[in-house]
Structure 1
Amino acid sequence: MADIIDGRAVARKLDEETAAEVRAMVEAGLPRPGLAVVLVGNDPASEVYVGRKIKGCESTGILSVEHRLPEETTQDSLLTLIARLNADPSVHGILVQVPLPKHIDTGVVLRAIAPSKDVDGFHPVNVGRLSTGTGGIVPCTPLGVTKLLDTVFDDLTGLDVVVIGKSNIVGKPIAMLLLEREATVTVTHIETKDLPGLCCKADIIIAAAGAPRLVKGDWVKEGAVIIDVGITRIKGEDGKTKLVGDVAFEEVQHARAVTPVPGGVGPMTISCLLANTVQAAKEQLSGKSSDGFQIDWDDLPDRSMIFSQSED
């Protein structure tokens, strides 16, 4: 019987550590880390996610500020708001909830966030620093995956890892993080030839393809560890909907350990967002920019950002 990797328990522990860091900052006379959350429109799922993030801020002592904008908000208006948040010293992290309305270019908006305040870790500067092993802010879900693996392994050196999924948000950054930990990583996707054969050789399988119950029991060798990032709502035989992952959970009980869906990776994503906010605040308040860029606020237009390479 596989051990269950309890993401909720690991997330609670991380939140306790984050809250302790916030208290230490306040006791040292520093301002509380501040997170600005921007929601455009009224997407039901986004409403739920934003609510959870704000609740997480409250429980850890992080100051949160909501900016709820109507569906018809223009891209220029959104960029103006982001520029203002970039310039606000009380805001250390900026999160723009996606998906955005179709008339707004998500890529343009995410690139407008100052890299040092990009607590989602999506800005090209942070992506580049991750790929070169030079720091920066790490995307929340991949960071959460590594913390879950740390509850099972003391050392990942030499372990064979198969990542199923090549997205910029999950698959690719997970692969880069694990390469830094000296694992041997194979990045695959649903079109990969002999995907079951590759998985059968893996010590660790990270399923992030968004394909319900893709990974079957005979894809998994005895004693492997499985991290299931996927989450899809499907209709069961009883007609009721339920959440399932990318792994056929009931078929992989011969694994050493596996994350459940829900209750595995999901809780870690929000906890890592909060931890990233504290990291960003510490770096900004200490004068160390995590992006290596300095913003020239005197020359900042109303609705755009200008970055100039810092001297150090």
Structure 2
Amino acid sequence: MTRTPTARLMDGAGLARRVNAATASAVEEIRRRTGTAPCLATVLVGEDPASVTYVRMKQTRCAKAGIRSRHIALPASVGTGELVEAVAALSHDPEVHGILLQHPVGPHIDERAAFEAIAPDKDVDGVTTHSFAAMGFGLPGFVSCTPGGILRLLDEYGVDLAGRHAVVVGRSAILGRPAGMLLLGRDATVTYAHSRTADLPALVREADVLVAATGRPGLIRGADIKPGAVVVDAGYGPGNVGDVEFGAAAERASLITPVPGGVGPMTIAVLLAQTVEAARRRLGPA
């Protein structure tokens, strides 16, 4: 017999629409006041189909919000030096307010060196060590977009993180690690785990709040979700499959993000909002 899901869906698409509407209003205010609009520069290395699609999607969302786009397309053969030079040029361009370097850039490139060429005040994707340190110490700066979107979702659904045990499954520099820092900043007790963690299911069963961010479809079984837990699935694989076994998890969780329509839309919404904030800081307050 099929059980009826008990979890409430966390509608990231709906929240993203509201965030984007506020962003568009802020863009219009900046345009009226300064005569210009915020500008996001995107840098893409090679022609990976998924990356091309992601960048095009972000450009489309920028256009809808009134944000100007500038795109730098580089061949897959580009070296670290050339990529760093291209990113540094955007960092020094006063017409550019935010920079997005699409990940991944290729195994032959020092990706960290390329990220570090982004000026901190234009790091609207939150990928530099400066931004990570700001997140860790609770200082002003730009958060990594996916973790930032996750926090906005948790806030939207009234999830009180103080004292809760949050388990982050994933340790990437732009998702898992910063997500843990932001949760810690909200007084959660944070445990990091990953695909090689010994007895991962036992740790998942202890999580009041679970953030799955490994990119390994179905890694986390629904039966291991703690009853009443909040489940945030930041994974995505072919066939719209996340890191968490959705059907079984939804029977046990209190809140859960769908895949797609959960975390993904909020990532882009935060990127656009932070681009507008970067422009506001550079152009001056109202």
> TM-score, normalising length from structure 2?
0.92
Alignment of 1:116-265 (within 5 A): 116-153=121-158, 155-233=160-238, 242-252=239-249, 253-265=251-263
Q: 1:217 to 1:97 in 2, by over 3 A?
A: closer
Q: Pick the aligned partner of 2:111 from 106, 118, 123.
A: 106
**Number of corresponding residues:** 279
Provide, for residues 234-291 of structure 1, a one-character-per-residue CA deviation record: whole Å limited to 9, x for no partner: xxxxxxxx1211111010122111111111111111111111111211222239xxxx
Which has the larger Rg?
1
Residue 298 (structure 1) aligns with: none
Q: Which amino acid aligns with 2:182?
A: L
Deviation of the 1:102 alpha carbon: 3.6
Residue 3 (structure 2) aligns with: none
Cα distance in structure 1, aligned partners of 2:118 and 2:168: 29
Tell me, yes or no, if the aligned pair for 2:98 and 2:275 is still in contact at 8 Å: yes
Deviation of the 1:76 alpha carbon: 3.0
Residues 194-203 or 123-132, more deviating: 194-203
Deviation of the 1:105 alpha carbon: 1.9
Residue 72 (structure 1) aligns with: 77
Give the root-mean-square deviation of aligned CA atoms. Answer: 1.7
Which ranges in structure 1 are unaligned for 5 or more consecutive residues? 234-241, 288-312
Provide, for residues 2-33 of structure 1, a one-character-per-residue CA deviation record: whole Å limited to 9, x for no partner: 11111111111111111111111122235311
Residues 10-19 or 214-223, more deviating: 214-223
Tell me, yes or no, if the aligned pair for 2:136 and 2:185 is still in contact at 8 Å: no
> TM-score, normalising length from structure 1?
0.85
Identity %: 46
Which ranges in structure 2 are unaligned for 5 or more consecutive residues? 1-5
Cα distance in structure 1, aligned partners of 2:226 and 2:152: 23
Deviation of the 1:201 alpha carbon: 2.5
1:22 equivalent in alignment to 2:27: yes
Cα distance in structure 2, aligned partners of 1:177 and 1:259: 18
